[in-house]
Amino acid sequence: MSVEVMKQALEALEYFDGEYDVKDEITALRAAIAEASMQRLTDVQQEIEHSGGANKMGEPIAYLCKHTGWFRKAEEADAAFKVDAVPLYEASSREWVGLTAKDLAEIPPSAFEGAIWADARLREKNT
């Protein structure tokens, strides 16, 4: 079932929510929509990787509607869809730098201070 069809089904279930006990069905359908949307995003990312990262001009690779959560590849999104959508861009290819053993040995004993320290150290390493 496509995401669009699941969203239509969700709208119908939400319409009848007061008359019938369909809360479990609504929850399940929302989860299925989220999972399908994430799979579609993964598919788009794989297409970009296989095309050699063809997005060199800084153009959006996809759009995500602010109101509905619907997702469309850039070439599938028409002007009307883009009006209420957030453009999504290819992630940087820079690899994340984690904490070293030396960094871990320097963490202060207080958990709060340690969290602040780790946050500052990671920001320093990844900027």
Which residues have CB under 8 Å from 121's CB, separation 6+? Answer: 99, 103
Give me the domain span that covers residue 9: 3-88
Are 13 and 22 spatial neighbours (Cβ–Cβ below 8 Å)?
yes
Are 85 and 78 spatial neighbours (Cβ–Cβ below 8 Å)?
no
Do 67 and 115 lie in one domain? The reply is: no
Identity of the amino acid at 79: A
Cα separations (Å) of 114 from 24, 51, 88, 101?
41, 42, 34, 15
Do 59 and 18 lie in one domain? The reply is: yes
pLDDT in tens, 80-92: 888 888 888 776 6
The pLDDT assigned to 48 comes to: 62
Q: Which residue has the higher pLDDT, 53 or 106?
A: 106
Do 78 and 24 lie in one domain? The reply is: yes
Are 13 and 25 spatial neighbours (Cβ–Cβ below 8 Å)?
yes
Do 49 and 111 lie in one domain? The reply is: no
CA distance 66 to 60: 15
Do 122 and 65 lie in one domain? The reply is: no
Report the domain count for the chain: 2
Are 30 and 6 spatial neighbours (Cβ–Cβ below 8 Å)?
no
Do 117 and 77 lie in one domain? The reply is: no
Do 69 and 8 lie in one domain? The reply is: yes
Do 17 and 67 lie in one domain? The reply is: yes
Do 67 and 117 lie in one domain? The reply is: no
Identity of the amino acid at 112: F
Do 17 and 45 lie in one domain? The reply is: yes
Instruction: Give the SS3 label for residue 20.
Output: coil
Do 18 and 77 lie in one domain? The reply is: yes
Do 16 and 75 lie in one domain? The reply is: yes
* pTM (2 d.p.): 0.39
pLDDT in tens, 1-46: 677 888 888 888 888 877 888 888 888 888 888 787 777 777 766 7
